[in-house]
Chain A
């Protein structure tokens, strides 16, 4: 009998606003904080049981030295284990988790710590012109996150908007989804739902030290009418500041083990990872890649979409859940509407923020804790990444 692979710890920092409460924190510390609390999720520290570390991160430039950032984090945690740092854009932490499973399946190790981290407030402006000296003329300082785009390709905001256009998703629906994301977050926060996944963090900004214990971006007073008035950005048809997440700071972490190891350690398997998959499409397909990846992971697992009790599709833009759900519903309007009700039930990145390298694990743990509150079930989470790669994961609680 093959072993099962289980999650035995999952925590994250609250997600900070751009230039907000976490913006002056060292990103390595954000990652270490999420990891530390993930390792103590079940009441005792299991650091010494970790065999391998994987760290996903999207914009290494935000670290003082953007090389082996994972190893830097591990050492801060006192974890002298082999650490792989990888980048598949927003897919990074889920790719890291998928890689961790490879090692578990190969029997190379039986436990791993997986971290996703991003600090968008600390991304420096960059120039390639200075090293050689500047003889005459101004120096251009490029901003890597404004807009988020890749050389030779459209900004992702345009790709998202074009996807919505292609699949006939009206702008009002994108905007309504966005406002609902905030509303759902507040309903969930009021019910105390995020206390399971968030590890409050002591933060410094300027001269102030304070404890941040909730996501900073959600707005309770946003209205559909007001959001609809916002102008489109970067030449997109429908993407506005209202139907996109902000630029955020935060980290998330998960501990995975073989079920055998977990039980030997007396740890409760919080969720079983049923299957994972990565998928690609043409570089502009970011809005629908979650759908293709979900289809792939379902087929690998031999499951149907109908079996899923919950779905998370990361709100890189409101277009992602709406376009992807429409594809999953094969364009059937009623089925589409029905499917949407299962997606991001506690709000998504538009409300709580999208620290790009941390969101993949965040959607996974948000879904896992919700399934646990509901007494169990199956869920699939998917995220899109730059130049159209997708990651998806099916978990069972």
Chain B
């Protein structure tokens, strides 16, 4: 079957090109290219009055390159050839004498698909639920089919830099002001296209029109200034070569015509496929979209039907969890100490969702449906017929035990899921007559945005209870990893080492703001001390103190952290390391709390970077040694999706695979000894791997 079907309507002389490639979404592969070239030639041969491009798939118009085809077996020469071929096909379609129009009916046009719209098409008609953008940097690439050259001319350079460097995908409305696209309803699509074609005979494609007026035109000087600023902002980490390549492409193409500029991009594009960091991103994308959703295997016969839940604790986390569940059609009762508190929380959720409606991200009826699933109470008797309760109260063992006892007393058959970040299930279950009903469901903040759920198997959790927690997490749209019990489980424990090592580096003489910059250089999305202020110093201090009691030999609370906590330098509205977190404006007054470590040298920048990333890596491997983690897939998925491990490294297991098991162990020993950091003493897992002779290929 052709992947780009051509059909001509004899009456109107308008040809329809329908995209339908093998696979769940439409992608650009060798077969697609051949069919596309044939269809274009045919249209010319038939002397059509115009061409309408549509998709045969419900949700996908055209979603970029076929990565699988590229990753399995394509050589640099083939990638170069395919990219050039696609560019030539786009240029060839753009230069045809007839108008070219694309129709999107609630579908997505991503990457190369979006490029088809803005390069080859003269106009696009799309329904408001259609989405388009350039997510390439999320898979370690950049839009090399002319996207970096054309988009700035349509939406302005600033907006284009933001969209491309962050890999954003936007609803159709976002582009409606830029002239190439008209929003309409599904019924109007076809007729609008025909009308447009008839009234635009002889149109010259904007990319080849010398009179084309750029939106928001800027001088060459202004453009260079924007790109230079973008490079220093997005290019801070050398391990994100794809972002730099995108910006280089935009800069290099400023004064070139489209065909030449795009051709130049191929030289920036092809090397990315052999760059380890780009490969990490491509592999991670494959892992997160392929294996991750089914990694935890549960027996469907074990899953208890959960059509309603209660969330106890209506703080930021509880409200977030309630909001996500309600959105997904689960009936949620929000419980707090008094009805007013709970009601206020529900109202706050209503407001949050209203903002989404106002910004055009949600339809009003979606908000109504979600709010319809939300109730509140302060009466625990209401929990009698609820199959599952998520407890989200303050991180305090005694409090959590009391709530647990109260809930189990009212409803002994309830599945009690604790959303704790550090306290083991064994401790929460202490004294319970039904410990088998207790499981951990560790969500990440903010719950509506963070994709990960860490389900914790308590020492006595029943398989049906675990299966139900996993299934509920998936119903809530989360990627689930299943871990065994232990203080801080996997993610909090590993994340803790990152933040604590940030403080330790400050104590070793590196200015705290430099510590954060070094973290950004490694590829972290946020520096450890920056995190301290945004996540809230109280949470960090309490979690750190708890972990120190459970791992006294390996973990302690840095003196500086204690100083700041005691002085109320805890961020989240209070002072901390920054006056302005978004712009990273330092608050120098934090300096007085730093307790310098005596008699230990100050780490070099390279050593500091290694301490930050290897600290996390080592803790993840400790989790493997202790059986908290069961496999390397969960290790990498959890680290990137949950706790900000640099995605350009794919996760701790891939990092070790690339650096070599022996080398990582050697470096950990070296850093641990030199800087007196017992937390860096290598995990026994490294010895196990070295004994087997495995130095790479962990994942």
Contact = CB atoms under 8 A, between A and B. Distances in A.
Contact of B692 (A228, A229, A340): A340
A222 B693 contact: no
A183 B692 contact: no
Interface residues of B, number: 18
A288 interface: no
A223 B687 contact: no
B691 A337 contact: yes
B675 interface: no
B585 interface: no
Interface string B645-659: 000000001000100
A384 B653 CA distance: 34
A225 B691 contact: no
Interface size grouping (class) on chain A: 20 to 34
A176 B699 contact: no
Interface string A334-345: 001110110011
Interface string A179-198: 11111100000000000000
Contact of B687 (A226, A337, A345): A337
A183 B696 contact: yes
Contacts, number: 64
Given A183-B695, A183-B697, A225 B690 contact: no
Contacts of A338: 691
B256 interface: no
Contact of B698 (A173, A181, A225, A322): A225
Contact of B688 (A176, A221, A226): A176
Given A225-B653, A228-B631, A340 B691 contact: yes
A182 to B, nearest CB: 8
B688 A183 contact: no
Given A224-B632, A225-B633, A180 B693 contact: yes
- Mostly, the B contact residues are helix
A341 B631 CA distance: 24
A181 B692 CA distance: 9
Contacts of B689: 176
Contacts of A336: 691
Most buried by B among A172, A173, A183, A229: A172
A208 B691 CA distance: 42
B226 to A, nearest CB: 42
Interface in B642-699: 653, 657, 687-699
A187 to B, nearest CB: 9
Contacts of A229: 631, 633
Given A224-B632, A225-B631, A176 B695 contact: no
A177 interface: yes
Nearest to B687: A337
Interface in B612-640: 631-633
Q: Max chain B CB contacts within 10 Å: which of A222, A224, A229, A341?
A: A224
B697 A222 contact: yes
Contact of A173 (B657, B692, B695): B692
A338 B693 CA distance: 11
A223 B688 contact: no
Given A173-B688, A225-B631, A341 B697 contact: no
A224 B697 contact: yes
Given A183-B697, A223-B698, A224-B699, A176 B692 contact: yes
A326 to B, nearest CB: 11
B631 to A, nearest CB: 6
A380 to B, nearest CB: 18
Interface string A222-248: 111110110000000000000000000
A223 B691 contact: no
Contacts of B696: 183
Given A176-B692, A337-B687, A223 B697 contact: yes
Interface string A153-191: 000000000000000001011001101111110000000
Given A179-B697, A183-B697, A225 B632 contact: yes
Interface string B326-355: 000000000000000000000000000000
B693 A177 contact: yes
B553 to A, nearest CB: 20
Given A172-B688, A173-B688, A176-B688, A224 B693 contact: no
Contacts of B688: 170, 172-173, 176, 337
Contact of A340 (B631, B657, B693): B693
Nearest to B627: A170
Contacts of B691: 173, 336-338, 340-341
A224 B633 CA distance: 10
Contacts of B690: 337, 341
Interface string A53-73: 000000000000000000000
Contacts of B697: 179, 182-183, 221-224
18 contacts: A170-B688, A172-B688, A173-B692, A176-B688, A177-B692, A183-B693, A183-B696, A183-B697, A223-B699, A224-B632, A225-B633, A229-B631, A322-B692, A337-B688, A337-B691, A340-B693, A341-B690, A345-B693
9 interchain residue pairs of minimum CB distance: A337-B691, A180-B693, A180-B694, A225-B632, A225-B699, A176-B692, A177-B692, A176-B694, A340-B691
